[in-house]
Chain A
């Protein structure tokens, strides 16, 4: 199974049935059947956003699915090599090189730094995101990027 670093935008879309990117991300998962990288910052950011969405039955379904995924230890593959302090060091180096040319935020740099570190340590197949700026940063860092886009605004969308 390919090992994919999906950032929080992509993982949230995968777990939440009403996210605007839910369909495209799920299609990609069913097609390539990846295991996802999981580490402390990604877990915190994903859990935080899913906790805040637990206001209705869809949010509850998403939370339950995340917890089931976490219990597998395989589909969400915990990376003990990704320690926060070392990833922050890599992110700082990346920021020093590219901050001026990028609109990506500090958390985005952390994701790309983690993925790049993992790529060097043990290999990584792809980096998935729904975010254009995050995707551009990952691509500039030498990662193979799959960026999800909405082809047409879904019917009945509510913003």
Chain B
């Protein structure tokens, strides 16, 4: 199967709850293509099976270890254009780094959402989500997703992290943090 077909299989599996689907999705978390890992994380969020927590945490650990390349300057690209963009990519940057740049935030976000959907107040889950919620080096799509997930888990232990995140300068993050705080207090 090509990458697309493996992505499709992940999302299709999420519509067939059961041991077989869970097993295939956990396996897909290790796929060589990040698009498939991302799809698997989205699907596991829809499946909401607590047995997926270990796999998702491992996925995040791998993502944390991935290098992140930031371009020296902006290259906006032209939205909707039929002309190719010309991003400034130093030749010395390894392919692995470029792929991490290409997927930046997406896999982590999907995993955070999945952990939120599963809503298991596992200390390891809380530790990761608290860290993401407060780490301004994370993309805001990750910080916001972590806050939302913490609201779904609604553990009292998250109060301090969410209170701090509620002052994040980025709107999506602070909005999710404030909602999550409300969820904590019922």
| Genuine A/B complex | no
